[in-house]
Amino acid sequence: MDFYLSALIQGLCFSALALGIYISIKIFNIPDITTDGSYTLGGVVTGVLLTHHQSPYIILPAVIIAGGIAGALTGLIHTKLKINALLAGILVTYSLYSVNLTIMGRSNLPLISVPSLFSLLNLVADPNQNTFWILSVFVIIITFLIGYLLKTDFGIAMRATGNSESMIRALGVNTDRMKITGLALANALTALSGYLIVQFQGFADISMGIGIVIVGLGSVIVAESLINWFRITSVWVILALVLGGAVIFQFVLAFTLALGVDANLLKMVTAAFVLLIVSLPRLSSLKAS
């Protein structure tokens, strides 16, 4: 398949995850790493329901609910038991491994010749381009829904919760419930990325989510550099940049592979790339001083 089209499609698949990470880290200021587990959960639920020939109208809500429950659990542990968010996320992800294995009944589930979201409609003859168009519509709808949500009164309250907890409590918002809802939303989005990628790749795998939080973080960090650079405040532009971040991130990885870097080193290169972007502002200020 066309190398760049493939990177573009992967980037779009991961954009839901990037939106999820954006919500947890940037909007709620909570370092949530339930991601690895909820991403796999989304993929596993999709795989199992697809092989059981369930209707797409059941699969999509099932994935959203499954991811939402995972996030809500992390949120509950974090807010009600006052456990550090990182630890709460690790605990949920760790136990999700067993859950995922139980749901799948094995560690790998191929989806060969199973109809998927991407074969639902035939917009263009080339299957990969067809995937691209369906995916684009899907991602645009999700982004529109999230953008709308952030503009509503509820969305403003969400944004305020991560910003000034004392203020938003004084303005009548139950911040615990808000954080639980936010983490549920973030992980529902993450599960959607698992849903998309499994249908694109044609298999679900128990270890598909290992380290995937880095992909989301990398995308958000790329987006954030652009947001700060151009001093963006518009919600729509920010969301578009998060999507852009997810795509750019996949392009960088694809490019690295194309340069001939050993695939075994890819995770290290990924980490180095994220480190580079995070430290760029500091490196440049070091240079200036």
Residue pair 226/241 in contact by the 8 Å Cβ criterion? yes
Helical axes 3-21 vs 35-51, angle rounded to 10°: 120
Which residue type occupies 257?
Answer: L
Among residues 52 and 177, whose Cβ is nearest to another protein? Answer: 177
- Residue 125 binds to another protein (criterion: CB under 8 A): no
- CA distance linking residue 17 with residue 39, whole number of Å: 8
Mark 148-167 with x for binding to another protein (rule: CB under 8 A) and - for no binding. xx-xxxx-xx-xx--xx-xx
Buried-exposed string 82-111: b where 16+ CB fall within 10 A, e elsewhere? ebebeebbbbbbeebbebbeebbeeeebeb
| Least distance between another protein and beta carbon 154 (Å) | 5
Rg (alpha carbons) of the chain, rounded to whole number: 19
Q: Which of 121, 140, 141, 171 binds another protein (CB under 8 A)?
A: 171
Contact flag: residue 170 with another protein (CB under 8 A): yes
Q: Looking only at residues 202 through 261 of this chain, which bind another protein when binding is defined by CB under 8 A?
A: 233
Q: Does 82 bind another protein (CB under 8 A)?
A: no
Q: Does 124 bind another protein (CB under 8 A)?
A: no
Q: Does 102 bind another protein (CB under 8 A)?
A: no
Least distance in Å: CB of 224 to another protein? 13
Whole-number Å distance between alpha carbons of 70 and 87: 14
Residue 203: strand, helix, or coil: strand
* Binder among 168, 204, 223, 247 for another protein (CB under 8 A): 168
- Please tell me whether residue 111 adopts helix, strand or coil conformation: coil
Distance CA 25, CA 284 (A): 24
Q: Applying CB under 8 A, which part among 42-50, 70-78, 172-180, 214-222 lies near another protein?
A: 172-180
242 in Cβ contact with 217 (< 8 Å)? no
> Quick one: 90 or 232, whose CB is closer to another protein?
232
Comparing CB distances to another protein, the nearer of 145 and 266 is: 145
Report the residue number, 174 or 201, with the smaller CB distance to another protein. Answer: 174
105 touches another protein (CB under 8 A): no
Chain residues in the site for another protein (CB under 8 A):
148-149, 151-154, 156-157, 159-160, 163-164, 166-175, 233
